Amino acid sequence: MKQAFADTDHFVALLGTKGGPAIRTGSTNPTSSLAVLAGKPVVIDCGLGVTRGLVDQGMALNDLSLIFITHLHSDHYLELGPLIHTAWTAGLNTPVHVFGPRGIDAYWRNFVASMKDDIELRIDDEGRPDLAGLVSFTNLAEGTVIAESGFEVSVFRNAHPPLIDTFALRFSTRQHKVVFSGDTTFLPALSEFSRDADLLVHEAMLNEALDALVKRVGNTDDRLMKHLLRSHTLAQDAGKIAAQAGVKALALNHLVPSDDADFGEEDWRQAVRQHWDGTLFIGNDGMRIDLSSL
Ligand SMILES: [Zn+2]
Ligand SMILES: [Zn+2]
């Protein structure tokens, strides 16, 4: 079957841009992204909504071959199993390689076990290939995890307590370099990892909106605010990383909050502008950033 993307396609699409797993009326989706690098589609994180987000970008699901999961918080992998299963029902018949933290393969085994009746039925009744056999896993660790000619992926352990296996990713082709921060507290070392990238996709939260957010959530105690402050990055600090790294453009994703009508795009811009006056994208679901135009 014809591939959906051409060698001349170089873009990043932000499919889900809210931080955290909950969705509400009118909210955006949890985290997932598609990078198309010299026509090769790479899925980064699989929060709720990833499958619909990919097809809305024009991707044929049977082209699914490479997935990265940055860490095991549900807003980043809740839909990994459903994505692969749905791709299988859409005609997937080629290997899928998943790079993720230790434990991601156990998630997959348990997902397949939970869908055992349906999967066996479709193999027997519809002649589908063996789903489990199509998928392989590599545990992420720091360093270079893919080094093909014209396509390299390197991995950096960020800081997102209490998790330990939590990673930033850097994708390099002959034409472009793209870095995803993953979920992380402000980590100055990320500017070195992001050096001279065309695009840095960095998580961000808006300081002045956090008190209202904790009140709105309602069913937690002061641990939620403590978690936010020690595990995530303020928008102005994401700007600082971009400036120190000398990237061409910064895109904010994993926005916290994403659904407070009292705060909008201008608030995010103002926060980032304290340290970064270059090209800035405030992430929105479905936003496509053409790397060749940066
Ligand atoms: Zn997250
Ligand atoms: Zn997280």
- Spacing, Cα 163 to ligand 1 middle (Å): 11
Q: What is the pLDDT of residue 130?
A: 96
Eight-state DSSP code of residue 74: H
pTM of the model: 0.96
- Spacing, Cα 286 to ligand 2 middle (Å): 21
Ligand nearest to the backbone CA of 160: 2
Give the rounded percent of residues in the chain with a pLDDT score beyond 90.
91
Ligand nearest to the backbone CA of 20: 1
- Spacing, Cα 222 to ligand 1 middle (Å): 19
H/E/C letters for each residue in 217-253?
Answer: HCCCCCHHHHHHHHHCCEHHHHHHHHHHHCCCEEEEE
Q: What is the pLDDT of residues 146-185, one digit of tens each?
A: 999 999 999 999 999 999 999 999 999 999 999 999 999 9
Ligand nearest to the backbone CA of 30: 1
- Spacing, Cα 157 to ligand 2 middle (Å): 13
- Spacing, Cα 19 to ligand 1 middle (Å): 5
Q: What is the average pLDDT across 114-140?
A: 96
Q: What is the pLDDT of residue 2?
A: 52
- Spacing, Cα 87 to ligand 1 middle (Å): 24
Ligand nearest to the backbone CA of 161: 2
178 with 291: CB under 8 angstroms? yes
Q: What is the pLDDT of residues 205-261, one digit of tens each?
A: 999 999 998 888 877 778 889 989 999 999 999 999 999 999 999 999 999 999 888
Q: What is the pLDDT of residue 219?
A: 79
Ligand nearest to the backbone CA of 162: 2
- Spacing, Cα 10 to ligand 1 middle (Å): 25
Q: What is the pLDDT of residue 151?
A: 97
- Spacing, Cα 33 to ligand 1 middle (Å): 13
